[in-house]
Every structure is written in C-alpha cells, then in structure tokens.
Structure 1
C-alpha cells in the first residue's frame, strides 16, 4: 500500500508550484514551521559552521527573541539611497514570492538581516567585506521566542527543480540543530595596541575649542584598540562570554566572508511591532560601584551631573523630533532613569509612538541615524568634523544593525561595545560624547572602561 500522506513542507511546495508560472520563475519561496528545540542557541550557531561567512546571531536584552540565520538567498548591498532601495527590493521579493507562514509572529518567516555603515561616504579596506550596507535574506532562520522555536526555510523556487531537493535540504538543516553541543575554546590575548592615542586626545582639544566658539554643541569621537591573539578567535566562545557578562544588552554576531562583526550593545535604535514604535535615548555614562552604597552614590551623581544630563538632553530632543515626523501619539518621560549594566550605567529615556501607515521601520532608521549619542549636535556640522578629524574608519561601528520581517515588524540596535574580528586579529571600538567641558584624559579613561566587556569576552581579561 502506498502511503500518500505528505509532510507539511511537501504540501506547501505543491501549492507553491501550482502558483508558479513564467512570471514567478526563480521567485522567493519561504516556509515556516514550529519545531521542538533542545540545544542551546549558541551551540546551534557553532554547529552550523558549514555556513560560516553567512551566519547571523541576535538576542534581545530581555531574551524574548533570539534569531539565528544561515546562508544567503538574497543580498542587498551598497545601493545608492540605501534605505529606499532596500525597501523597494524587499517589497518586490515578497510580492513576487510565495510565503507560507501561518504563525505571522514578529521575527518569523522570511527576514532581512544585517546593517549599515556609519558613514556611507567612507571607504575602508578594513570593512570591505561588509560594505556600505548589507541586508541578507537567510536561507535558514531559527527564531526562538521564549520557550517556542520556529524554523523558516527560504529559497528560490524553480519549476525544473525536484520537490525532494527542497525537502532534503530542510531535513539536513534540522539535523544540525540537534547535534551534540560542541566544545568551546578561547584564544588568549598576546598584544594590545591603542591606535593614535595622543592624536585622539588632541582631536578632543580641537573639538572643545570649536564648541566654545559655538561651531557645534557636541561631537562624538571614537577610537580603536587593536588586539592580537595566539589563535583564531572562536566566535561562539565570545558569544558565550558576552551572554554571561552582558545580560542586559543586545548580543549580535554578523559574519561576512572571513570577517565577523560582533558585540553586546545596550542601545536600541528603534523597535516596531504591530505599528507600535519604541526608541530609546541612552547617553551619559558612569562606572558601577564596588559596593551597593558606592554604586548608589555613583548613580545619583550621574543623574545630577550637568555634563551628562546635557549630553542626554541632546539625544532626547533629536529622537523626539525625528519620531514626531512619522508617528502619532508620541510620549516622552520628563526625566531620565538609570540603565545599569555589569560594568557601566547610563542615563535612559524611552520614546514611544504609533507609526503612521505611510512609514516603515527603515524610514525611521534613516531619520534617526546617527543620533546625537553617536554623531553630535548639530548633526551635519558634527559629522563633518568626524569625517575631517577622526582618524578611525568606523565602518559598521556605531551604525544600525538589525532585522525587518515581511509584516513590517523589526528592530535595530546601535552597534557599540563591539569589535571586528579577522582570524587572529580584532579591532575594538569605543567613543565618547564631547561637550565644552570635556577633559581628554577623562574621556580616554571612559573609552578604556567601555573596551572592558569586549576585552573580557575575547581573551578572558577582567
């Protein structure tokens, strides 16, 4: 007796092939199913090593969503008018494709994953694998939402292809999800080198002089720390360390070719879910205390410190103005609160609104980037100073990274507390908001503090 019962993906493929005609040849096909997951997300990321160079890892600070991507069905990169171009191409892929996702939960189904460079006019050899922007539709996407897991398989469907080819590909990937947990090895740091240390301090002096002359009000200056290791850096091991140490941050790793950009950033740029928008202002920084009493004292000082409150207010005003241009019902608290991480604490203000129907999350990203927390005030004058005076090629550092789904939901964070890993070498990045009273030595000490989370994760340094 022939068993005619079909697997769910086979039924889905039959429907997709029935829809196919010459117009839809080579169109996008996406299939989502709910799965049982027993393995740790970082172990899964390690097990999909055959996809190294196209892997993507993302977790939110509240652990409500973890995304793991592998493979690249479509890649949209280095386009002029990046945000508009990406949106048009994404819409075209979805309109001409076949999406089978009965769950329609944010972060499930076909997604665009990736990010943008801080300055699209900047040319950098160090960042050549990432380019000005790079948004990828992954072949496989695992979305973990609390205790539930959803696997999406996205491909280009051809009339001439056998249905069994697609079924076998999905089954093979499922098998990798259940593989035994791999071993993790950590590289050791053998050399650290601060890049242009004295020159960076001199740039701060130049910036404060121009601020006193009212050329601009604030500028954010970043610097680089180069690190060399005794062996190739294990990205899953770094992710494990970051997850353990930075529990209230976005954890991310984005691979492109032989390079990986990764980090643990506390800073959300924007989140959109069912047209409800949330952006956050995170500016003003202080260390954590050694005791509860000291920690409380430092926090209270941060809340009342004139320099940090001024820096924070710049960010709040700009984000509010940008959000009001594309949202209704915008709400902003009157004063900031503390956002505390393992090593640092920041001033924090949320901004909420209802996204107007004619706008998308990518429109909001374009309006917000760079915020005063990453660029300065006024924006154009500060960015010009950064371009002219900052020795660092920022690449994707301090730029938007994240995802958007087929329903317009998505989330982007600002890629700070991060590093670019190339085999046995890494470049770490940290910056400070410079205002009229900024002291070069104090700002340098602040960047040293901001390097610590990545240094610890990379080489075990406390």
Structure 2
C-alpha cells in the first residue's frame, strides 16, 4: 500500500501502471475528495444508470452512511472461506496507491463483504447470485460521517490500461452521480403474498422442542420464508428510504448483484473494530411493543423477567463471552441485559466491549463468532445439524455477517436478519425465532409474523 497525500491523479495512475507492468499484477488507485452535501438515496438511485451492482450501509444511529456504486475490485470464494477473503483484501491493499488526506473518517478504499449463513449449504436458484463469500470495493464510494461528505474513486490499472480513456470515463460517471437530483418515486406496491408451508414449519418447531426435551440440543433457531409479488419492478432506492425513515436503532443494508438485491434493517451488530477496540452485541429474547406507553412498559418488564427469553439470551452471552476471550483482552460484559427498543419489537440486549489482541483482524473475529446462538442455536454443532436436516428454507446470506472494512481492518459487520431478497417483481422475506424446550409452535409462528412486518411495510405494503 502506497499512501500519497497530495499528487496529480495522472501521475498516480502512471505510477500504478508502472508497478502493474513490473509485478505482472493489477494495481489499484483510490482517490478521496471532499464534496458538497448530497442525499445518499439520490446517489444510490443515480448509480443504476451505469451499474447493476450497488451497496448501501448505514449504522444503527445513522451517523455513518456508505453508498457504493460499481465494482473496482470483486472477489468471490465459493468455499466461503473467511481466510480467503482476508487474504484477497490484504493483497489488494498491498497493490494499492491511495490518495486520501481524510483518513480520520471512513474514506479511502473500503471493502464490503458478505458471507453465507452455512458454508456447506448448496446454493440453489434463489441465492444463485450470492453463492459463497463475496468482497467488493466500489468504483465510487459516498461516505457521510460527522456531517461531512466525501467521494472515493477506486479503479484497477493493468499493464495495458488506456489511462486517458480511463480517467475520462471515471470523471464523467462521478459527475453524473454527484449532479443527480432525482429522488425515487414512491411506486412499490405488493399485490400478492404467500407463506411457504406454515404448517410444515410449525411441525418442525414441534420436532425441535422434542429434540431439546431429549437433551440432544438446548436451543435451535428456525427461520421461514414469505414470498411477495409486486405490481411492477421494485425500486431498491425506495425500500432503503422507507427503512431509513422508520427503522430507528437498526443497521440498514442493501447489496445489489446483477439487479438482485439482498436488503434489510437489522438491529444486531456482530462486531465492530475501531483502532483495536472491539464491540459486539448479545441480542436475543423478543417481545412486541405496546400500543400505549403503559402497555409498552409492562411488556418490557415482562420480557426482562421472562424465564424462556432470559435463558435464550444467556446462551448468546455465554457463547460470545467465550469467543471474545479467545481473541481479545480487557473484556467487559454486563451481568444483566437491558431492553433494546425497535418500532415493532423489543429485545434483550447486552453490549460487549474488549481490546483486540495482536495479529487478529475483524475477519478473524467474524469467523469465531458466526453463527452465534442468536441465529443458530446452542450448542452450535447440534443446532446447525438440526437446521441442515429439517429446515426446508434456503438461508443463503440470511442470518449471516454483512458489512465493511477499511485498509487497516477497522470496520463493522451486522447480522443480516429482518431482510428480503428482491428480484425485479418478486421478493422473498425471511424471519426466524429461537426455539427452546417450552416453545409453542403457534407462538413462535406469531413472533416470526411480527418480524416480517418492517420489511413488508418498507416494500410498499399490499392492496
């Protein structure tokens, strides 16, 4: 990695091409500049004019927003190896020429990465465009942080790149993105919806409770699918705007690949790394929100004292505590959970803070943490075996890590729940719940129905 504070872009491109010739591998040039404020939804929407690959990310308090257009670097690993993704990112960084005088904010070349829930799951038609693990560095990245706006342009330079043509194309596309003012119209409308085998799913929940009673497993997380159809092609930008507007305390993400988009609003952070400080989240145990303040307070108090939910939550705390101690020091985990309120639901929440040991990166942490008991069950091996044998739904990237990391492996990954896979006029929504010994199949069914609500609303509702 060659970091350059101030240099003419033509000279940087030429230096990169010289290295590409000498080393017989592509080099990457990344240039960051500060810009005037622009609406991130408008930027995302404008990117559809010349790219079918777009990414959106905002953290839970919406203080950081990242929007990526195009692919300067793309890597896919069918085996879903975390270490392969880490190696690929390290190699790309080593071959990069970075011009960025704003490294105190989330700028420069940033890699977005997504992983499957289960690397052994055979990808079928539904998740065909999201097979294995993927890493993408966008050609254009909009960063909004601390009230400041930046755009980072990243491109690949090879031994035979026509530098003048490359620079002209990048300049024109960047100006097209920055000058756009068109906000997506509100046109999404669901006209049909179909629950996939609800009775079979309830029977599977019952089977899980029997396995737990027989002490073959302590907890299993089971998910189900809801299919919807739109009146016309669905606008991803409109969905993002709707999620941002109403889903407080949620990470909003969208990963579009060849016009198919995995999108959601998840409350669950898997891990954040900021200058060797580690932050994770234990989030398990669910109750609805009340219609009045009094009812809401009553439901929250019931959740804080509910044996089933506390047991479910403790599985997550114990597993994450054990995992974090394997890669971090000075671990701080409170003894009791608190409430984490969302629009439709509230959860039991325990924050985790620690200091990262040397030689570990955010990718190593993800590999150790995923899947947590909140998304798989406990113990991991037995619960995952049950899911593989009995769950009919193809999970793909649902319930899996998705997020970003910079050139120093600072970054943040969330767990991709409360989500949907949108393909033109169709979408599949996903929701899950933790099954314990005393779980009632109908009650768990109702919980997942509530969890579908945020995405259904954001997709446009139905007639």
Which of the five TM-score ranges fits, normalised by the shorter chain? over 0.9
User: Does the Cα contact within 8 Å between 1:227 and 1:425 map onto a contact in 2?
Assistant: yes
1:32 corresponding residue in structure 2: 32
Cα 1:421–1:52, aligned 2, differ >3 Å: closer, same or farther?
farther
C-alpha deviation, 1:182, in angstroms:
2.9
C-alpha deviation, 1:118, in angstroms:
0.6
Cα deviations by residue, 1:354-405 (Å, 9 ceiling, x for unpaired): 1112100000001111100000000000000000000101011000000111
1:132 corresponding residue in structure 2: 132
Cα deviations by residue, 1:139-162 (Å, 9 ceiling, x for unpaired): 111111131122111111235445
C-alpha deviation, 1:250, in angstroms:
0.5
TM-score (normalizing by structure 2): 0.95
2:262 corresponding residue in structure 1: 261
User: Does the Cα contact within 8 Å between 2:259 and 2:423 map onto a contact in 1?
Assistant: yes
Range that drifts further, 155-164 or 264-273: 155-164
1:151 corresponding residue in structure 2: 151
Secondary structure of 1:437's counterpart equals: coil
Cα 1:106–1:380, aligned 2, differ >3 Å: closer, same or farther?
farther
Cα deviations by residue, 1:220-252 (Å, 9 ceiling, x for unpaired): 000000111111111111111111110210111
**Aligned partners of 2:272 and 2:200: how far apart in 1?**
37
TM-score (normalizing by structure 1): 0.95
Range that drifts further, 444-453 or 145-154: 145-154
Residue ranges of structure 1 left out of the alignment (5+ in a row)? 1-5
Cα 1:166–1:148, aligned 2, differ >3 Å: closer, same or farther?
farther
Residue ranges of structure 2 left out of the alignment (5+ in a row)? 1-5
2:200 corresponding residue in structure 1: 199
**Aligned partners of 2:449 and 2:40: how far apart in 1?**
31
C-alpha deviation, 1:408, in angstroms:
1.1
Q: 1:88 aligned to 2:123?
A: no
2:172 corresponding residue in structure 1: 172
Range that drifts further, 409-418 or 19-28: 19-28
C-alpha deviation, 1:16, in angstroms:
4.3
1:281 corresponding residue in structure 2: 282
1:444 corresponding residue in structure 2: 445
C-alpha deviation, 1:95, in angstroms:
1.1
User: Does the Cα contact within 8 Å between 2:243 and 2:252 map onto a contact in 1?
Assistant: yes
**Aligned partners of 2:50 and 2:318: how far apart in 1?**
43
User: Does the Cα contact within 8 Å between 1:106 and 1:405 map onto a contact in 2?
Assistant: no
**Aligned partners of 1:52 and 1:184: how far apart in 2?**
19
C-alpha deviation, 1:42, in angstroms:
0.7
The number of aligned residues is: 456
> Which aligned pairs between 1:38-437 and structure 2 lie closer than 5 A?
39-80=38-79, 82-105=81-104, 107-123=106-122, 124-175=124-175, 176-437=177-438
**Aligned partners of 1:347 and 1:461: how far apart in 2?**
31
C-alpha deviation, 1:167, in angstroms:
3.3
C-alpha deviation, 1:185, in angstroms:
2.9
> Which aligned pairs between 1:13-28 and structure 2 lie closer than 5 A?
13=13, 16=16, 21-23=21-23, 26-28=26-28
**Aligned partners of 1:400 and 1:304: how far apart in 2?**
30
Secondary structure of 2:309's counterpart equals: helix
C-alpha RMSD of the superposition: 1.8
Range that drifts further, 68-77 or 7-16: 7-16
C-alpha deviation, 1:81, in angstroms:
5.9
2:3 corresponding residue in structure 1: none
User: Does the Cα contact within 8 Å between 2:184 and 2:235 map onto a contact in 1?
Assistant: no
Range that drifts further, 266-275 or 136-145: 136-145
Range that drifts further, 352-361 or 155-164: 155-164
C-alpha deviation, 1:65, in angstroms:
1.1
User: Does the Cα contact within 8 Å between 2:418 and 2:451 map onto a contact in 1?
Assistant: yes
